[in-house]
Amino acid sequence: MKLHVIVEQDESGYYVAEVPALPGCLSQGKTREEAIANIKEAIEGWLEVMESKQPFNPAHVVEVAV
């Protein structure tokens, strides 16, 4: 899975990472690399939580490419 991540440095010098396609999926780090590693972990957690809210039924799954 590929997602766009926005990484910006805030006024205190930390790097903040956000995934626009996943509402509320944010993280930060002292360096850009740390912020990217942290957002990867946040994405995994976000997806896990969302999957647990909706039972997975293979009969209803359709794969699309855009």
- How many whole angstroms separate alpha carbon 26 and alpha carbon 15? 11
Return the pLDDT at 60.
85
pLDDT band (50, 70, 90) for residue 5: very high
Return the pLDDT at 1.
85
Return the pLDDT at 61.
83
pLDDT band (50, 70, 90) for residue 13: very high
- How many whole angstroms separate alpha carbon 51 and alpha carbon 32? 28
For 14-36, the pLDDT digits (tens) are 999 999 999 999 999 999 999 99
Domain residue extents for the chain? 6-55
- For the 6-55 domain, the top CATH level (class) is alpha beta
